[in-house]
Amino acid sequence: MIAESTAQSSPIPLAVIILAAGQGTRMKSDKHKVLHPIAGKPMLLHLLDTVAALAPSCEIVVVGKGREQVESALAGRTVSTALQADQLGTAHAVGEALPALGDFSGKVLILFGDTPFVAAETLRSMLARLDAPDAPGIVVLTHSPEDAGAYGRVILGGGDRIAKMVEYKDASEAERAVRLCNSGMMALSAEDLRTWLPRIGNDNAAAEYYLPDLIMVAAEEGRVAVAIEGAAIEAIGINSRAELAAAEHHWQQRRRAEMMTAGVTLIDPASVWFAADTIVGRDVMIEPGVFFGRGVIVANGATIRAYSHLEGASIGSGCEVGPYARLRPGAVLEEGAKVGNFVEVKKATLGRGAKANHLTYIGDADIGAKANIGAGTITCNYDGFFKYRTVIGEGAFIGSNSALVAPVTVGAGAIVGAGSVVTKDVEPDSLGVARAEQKGIAGWAKRFRERKSRKIT
Ligand code: UD1
Ligand code: CA
């Protein structure tokens, strides 16, 4: 299992400002950029969960266009929001957060909602670097991605001191050739931030108030800015669908490796997709092409066979799922239960050792231990208006191609004859058959053929 990092309080009070007011136009989406999911979880929440590990005393998310969407995603969290009505740049956005900061005194981390993968450990090193003997005014998180693309560039001036930060749009050819990039994240004291921020202007290619210009203002005050370099993955900024897919890819690669380290077998790791909250036990075997939506727990020793899609499901130890199974929210498989090919399970419990091996829909149902659900069985749970439950007792046997019209109960140990449409309860240990009785008419087929062949000739 993957352990969450434990919360640790920093000695000096910490405030975190997260910028999320940008329009995200490059995403071409009605959904706010920072709410696009990675591993099924909005990118902003990835970042907030990391931030929580630092136990800040104050968290402010700067919102603008689409603020309602962001605010509803933040419901239930102790995060305040600040409004940046017009998006005039990253420095302007931070300025709009200052009133919410009040008279806070301590360290401030400025993060971007579209840069969700920074590690708590890296943020801690940034904060610690502020306290080093050379007392830098600003600590900037940098990275050296393989493709520096349109990131702002960081020009060093000896050691880790930053001589200049320049936006890609404003950079010269020589500056664009530099690979060290700005992640956007920085740390400084609240006092310095309040003093320096108002001095930033907007005389640049985009006519925006650039946060990186804080470095120049600090320099005018005789204070240095220093760089800390993080892993490239920590600083991935997501502006477009292609970058979103690349971020997803990186996240998945890391989680697959963690899963294998924790004792999960992945035959073809690259084809298995986890959600941020997927929990998988030891000695679970996952075959190729399996997709985990949110809310899945798999206990030790289960097997998830190829091309299965699981969401909101709990899978007990030793269970077998798939190939080609679909488990939807509320599917609970108790120890040793089996769900086979082309079986869909929704809001239903399969007791210990129960089996539904082929071509079945089980919705809104309770299935007792060791019951056997024959091929093609359907629980008819919906009448177009309401949903109803089907209850199948322990050890019951449902013959193939049966339709169980809910609400209905099949007692423990009962047998339902194949092809039945069951509309009434079946008593325990009894046989329930509901289909037209078979007739046999001797010689009929032969006569039929003769009649037809006469018409051809
Ligand atoms: C920014 C940095 C760039 C850095 C890159 C890292 C600036 C000027 N540029 O560029 O140096 O390499 O991030 O990913 O800081 N935002 C607001 N209000 C605004 C503008 C932006 O809240 O008025 C927010 C956005 O929602 C986003 C973040 O700030 O979360 C960064 O803005 P974005 O426009 O994506 O900046 P980049 O061009 O990526
Ligand atoms: Ca960005």
pLDDT on residue 436: 94
Of the candidates 261, 318, 334, 330, which has an alpha carbon nearest to the alpha carbon of residue 285? 318
Q: Which residues surround ligand 2, an ion (CB under 5 A)?
A: 114, 237, 239
Structure confidence by residue, pLDDT tens digits, 194-231 = 999 999 999 998 999 999 999 999 999 999 999 999 99
**DSSP code of 337?**
-
- Report the distance separating Cα 24 and Cα 283, nearest Å: 42
DSSP string, 16-34: EEEEE-S--GGG--SS-GG
Whose CA is closest to atom 29 on ligand 1?
19
Distance 113 CA to ligand 2 centre (A): 8
Q: Which three-class secondary structure state does DSSP give residue 344?
A: strand
Q: Which CATH number fits domain 8-235: 3.90.550.10, 3.20.20.370, 3.20.80.10, 2.40.160.20?
A: 3.90.550.10
What are the pocket residues of ligand 1 if the criterion is a CB atom closer than 6 Å to any ligand atom?
19-22, 62, 84, 87-90, 92-93, 112-115, 151-152, 167, 181-184, 210-212, 237, 239
Q: Which three-class secondary structure state does DSSP give residue 314?
A: strand
Distance 184 CA to ligand 1 centre (A): 7
| 249 a catalytic residue | no
**pTM for the whole structure:** 0.91
CATH 3.90.550.10 in the chain, residues?
8-235
Element holding 312 (H helix, E strand): none
Structure confidence by residue, pLDDT tens digits, 236-293 = 999 999 999 999 999 999 999 999 999 999 999 999 999 999 999 999 999 999 999 9
Nearest ligand to the CA atom of 235: 1
Q: Where are the alpha helices (DSSP H) in 241-311?
A: 241-261
Q: Decide if 247 contacts 236 (C-beta within 8 A).
A: yes
β-strand partners of 315: 298, 333
Element holding 455 (H helix, E strand): helix 444-456
β-strand partners of 431: 415
- CATH class of the domain defined by 241-432: mainly beta
Q: Which three-class secondary structure state does DSSP give residue 367?
A: strand
Q: 286: which 2 tokens?
A: 């996952």
- Report the distance separating Cα 295 and Cα 106, nearest Å: 38
Structure confidence by residue, pLDDT tens digits, 295-321 = 999 999 999 999 999 999 999 999 999
CATH 2.160.10.10 in the chain, residues?
241-432
Q: Which three-class secondary structure state does DSSP give residue 400?
A: coil
